Copies of this chain bind each other. A is one copy, B any other.
Amino acid sequence: MSPADRPPTRRFLDKLASHSPLGWDECRAILELPGHLVQIRANLDFGNEGQETDHAWLVVDGLIGRFGQTNDGARQTIGVNIPGDMAGLNAVVAPETGPALQSLSAVTLMQVPRAALSAAARRYPAVAEAFWRECVLDAAILEQWIVNVGRRSALSRVAHLLCELGCRYSAAGIAHHAEFPFPTTQIQIADMLGLTAVHVNRTLMALRTDKLVTIQARQAQVHDWDRLARIGDFDPSYLQIGETLGEPACVGMAS
């Protein structure tokens, strides 16, 4: 299975197919979504906030964050996208809504024209529904993010974030949830959780001392998932993974 056999859109298709019924033609339409690849180094802002956006960003490799800012410059990360996620899919129906984006690691992205996504949705109602559902599932993550930032202690917040990422990587088939990519700066973690980098450092250290999690070489290693989940007050049901939908039409589709 060389890269040539797995177009960048493949992971995105798999994700859609995991929650939405798609026929052969619909799968094809998604697989053949056009767009050109871009590489961006770590810790760079892109995807100009506020402006009309004419494309969405499919994460091919690496990790990006969506964020908002207060007028005094404080940054709040609003969510995170792993490979297979299409950041800015919502802009298909609301172009003014294009998010502010930030590379958290070095990433490679595919810029998918809004027009192409829009055309696919218009042509195949099942694709439109899959996109809509994808947006709704993202919103469910946003909701839990609010709970996390609004009502949990620093320790709990960090634990919850790690659990969420572990589950999402595992659902995407990228890594096991006991050890997954975490190429993230403590400053960036602070921005995700509404904390300070200094305090994140202390919290991470407590987690390490307790033999719960080690972060090393851009990977998170979870040594005691159950306890971490308890500390993070983590209930994965909001991620809606593991809903069985039968064999999707796209399994084993070439190219």
Instruction: Report the separation of the CA atoms of residues A82 and B133 in the bound assembly, to the nearest whole angstrom.
Output: 24
Q: Is the CB of A139 within 8 A of B90?
A: yes
A132 at the interface (CB under 8 A from B): yes
Residues of chain B lying within 8 A (CB to CB) of residue A144:
68
Q: Is the CB of B70 within 8 A of A151?
A: yes
Q: Identify the stretch in A122-130, A165-173, A198-206 within 8 Å (CB) of chain B at 4 or more residues.
A: A122-130
Nearest CB of B to A239, in Å = 11
Contact of A146 among B72, B78, B99 (CB under 8 A): B78
A138 at the interface (CB under 8 A from B): yes
Q: Which of A57-76 contact B (CB under 8 A)?
A: 66, 68-72, 74-76
Instruction: Report the separation of the CA atoms of residues A144 and B50 in the bound assembly, to the nearest whole angstrom.
Output: 13
Instruction: Report the separation of the CA atoms of residues A19 and B237 in the bound assembly, to the nearest whole angstrom.
Output: 32
User: By CB atoms of chain B within 10 A, which of A94, A128, A144 has the most?
Assistant: A94
Instruction: Report the separation of the CA atoms of residues A135 and B136 in the bound assembly, to the nearest whole angstrom.
Output: 7
For residue A75, which residue of chain B has the nearest CB? B151
Residues of chain B lying within 8 A (CB to CB) of residue A50:
237
A39 at the interface (CB under 8 A from B): no
Contact of A132 among B96, B128, B194, B243 (CB under 8 A): B128
Nearest CB of B to A158, in Å = 14
For residue A97, which residue of chain B has the nearest CB? B140
3 residue pairs, one from A and one from B, having the closest CB atoms: A150-B194, A68-B147, A90-B136
Which residues from chain A sit less than 8 Å from chain B, CB to CB? 19, 50, 66, 68-72, 74-76, 78-79, 90, 93-94, 96-97, 99, 122, 125, 128-129, 131-133, 135-140, 142-147, 149-152, 156, 193-194, 233, 237, 240, 243
